[in-house]
């Protein structure tokens, strides 16, 4: 009887120890227990920064911890990427960036202090909207065909918001497919490009709907084509490049921003963040942003995000290679 009681006491003690150990392990694995930082590779005020703050707010509300947004610009996103790569892979430091940080920089920068594929794990891709091709009304062009006809008879200059950008790729591809000689001028961002467009310095530009609104609303410019297979909700009358007979995968690419984590971040934390991104995309604040920026789709789920990156990434890289640019 005594021996039985002793055995029973030992079992109870063992169970108590296991219970305590399990509780300690659960406490140790609890995440997050402090603020999460999202490093944004672009300046404050743009779509990437706006998305980081709006989605970050939802993540904060759901996880019960602050989400701090830190803008770290420079070297086409490479500075932000390196800082996040060098951070502990614990889910407390993330990066919100544009596609070129993970794709174009491989070809446009001589020295890259990070490996886009090995150093980062995609959490969620957030489409950043269609980038319409806008023609100055002085050209008289209302369709792509009319712009091509005009460009064959007149000197035309097109603006892009950066070397190796979709705008650069798109105009170069139009030159190639139609045998045109449209001159390409690269600006440091969209604001100065649209200012020159409004002043008549350039006759064509490719950029975001939101940034192009001043020239569209005043009638200085007309959107004459949009990329991707479907028309924009904000520009339902503007046909896609594909509808107007332009061939090639270039004009079906998805312009996107993305939230990523250091590659070794625990998968369960990445998956949780990915689910919260999808949830956040349904919230009023994000929906208002999507409407303001003319973006038709919110954050994609993780499998779809990875599939898009793996499918379209090689097309982006091949398109940039075809530009024949020298790495800087």
Read off the pLDDT of residues 15-42 as tens digits, 9 standing for 90 and up.
Answer: 444 444 443 333 336 999 999 999 999 9
Instruction: Report pLDDT for 29.
Output: 60
Per-residue confidence band for 247, with pLDDT thresholds at 50, 70 and 90: confident
Cα separation, 110 vs 137, in Å, equals: 40
* Nearby residues of 16 by Cβ (< 8 Å), 6 or more positions away: none
Per-residue confidence band for 76, with pLDDT thresholds at 50, 70 and 90: confident
Nearest to 85 by CA among 130, 48, 116: 116
Read off the pLDDT of residues 137-157 as tens digits, 9 standing for 90 and up.
Answer: 999 999 999 999 999 999 999
Residues 292/210, Cβ–Cβ less than 8 Å: yes
Read off the pLDDT of residues 182-213 as tens digits, 9 standing for 90 and up.
Answer: 999 999 889 999 999 999 999 999 999 999 99
Mean pLDDT, residues 98-121: 94
Q: Which residues pair with 124 in a beta bridge?
A: 259
- CATH topology (fold) of 133-252: D-Maltodextrin-Binding Protein; domain 2 (3.40.190)
Instruction: Report pLDDT for 104.
Output: 93
Mean pLDDT, residues 93-103: 95
Instruction: Report pLDDT for 228.
Output: 82
Instruction: Report pLDDT for 46.
Output: 85
| pTM, to two decimals | 0.85
CA distances from 322 to 14, 173, 250, 315 (A): 68, 9, 11, 11
Element (H, E) at 123: strand 120-127
**The residue to which tokens 């150990």 are assigned:** 21
Per-residue confidence band for 296, with pLDDT thresholds at 50, 70 and 90: very high
Q: Which part of the chain has CATH 3.40.190.150?
A: 36-128+256-321
Mean pLDDT rounded to a whole number for the chain? 90
Q: What are phi and psi of 308, to 5 degrees?
A: -65, -45
Mean pLDDT, residues 244-269: 93
Instruction: Report pLDDT for 5.
Output: 42
Q: Which residues pair with 262 in a beta bridge?
A: 120
Per-residue confidence band for 249, with pLDDT thresholds at 50, 70 and 90: confident
Read off the pLDDT of residues 231-244 as tens digits, 9 standing for 90 and up.
Answer: 999 999 999 999 99
Instruction: Report pLDDT for 48.
Output: 93
Taking domain 36-128+256-321, whether its CATH number is 3.40.190.150 is answered by: yes
Q: Which part of the chain has CATH 3.40.190.10?
A: 133-252
pLDDT at 3 over 70: no
């Amino acid at each position: 009887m005594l021996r039985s009681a002793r055995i029973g006491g030992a079992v109870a003690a063992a169970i108590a120890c296991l219970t305590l150990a399990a509780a300690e392990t659960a406490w140790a694995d609890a995440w997050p227990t402090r603020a999460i930082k999202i490093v944004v590779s672009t300046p404050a005020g743009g779509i990437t920064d706006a998305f980081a703050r709006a989605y970050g707010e939802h993540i904060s509300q759901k996880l019960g911890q602050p989400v701090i947004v830190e803008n770290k610009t420079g070297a086409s996103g490479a500075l932000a990427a390196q800082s996040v790569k060098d951070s502990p892979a614990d889910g407390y430091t993330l990066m919100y960036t544009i596609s070129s940080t993970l794709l174009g920089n491989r070809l446009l920068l001589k020295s890259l202090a990070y490996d886009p594929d090995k150093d980062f794990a995609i959490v969620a891709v957030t489409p950043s909207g269609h980038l319409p091709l806008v023609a100055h009304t002085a050209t008289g062009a209302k369709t792509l065909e009319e712009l091509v006809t005009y460009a064959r008879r007149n000197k035309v200059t097109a603006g892009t918001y950066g070397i190796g950008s979709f705008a650069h790729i798109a105009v170069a591809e139009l030159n190639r497919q139609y045998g045109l000689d449209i001159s390409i001028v690269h600006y440091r961002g969209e604001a100065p490009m649209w200012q020159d467009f409004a002043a008549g310095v350039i006759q064509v530009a490719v950029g975001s709907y939101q940034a192009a609104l001043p020239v569209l609303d005043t009638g200085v410019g007309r959107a004459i084509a949009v990329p991707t297979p479907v028309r924009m909700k904000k520009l339902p009358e503007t046909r896609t490049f594909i509808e107007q007979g332009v061939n090639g995968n270039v004009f079906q690419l998805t312009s996107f921003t993305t939230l990523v984590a250091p590659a070794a971040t625990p998968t369960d934390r990445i998956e949780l963040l990915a689910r919260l991104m999808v949830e956040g995309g349904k919230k009023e604040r994000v929906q208002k942003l999507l409407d303001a920026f003319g973006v038709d789709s919110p954050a994609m789920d993780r499998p779809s995000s990875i599939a898009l990156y793996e499918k379209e990434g090689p097309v982006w890289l091949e398109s940039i290679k075809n530009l024949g640019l020298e790495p800087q």
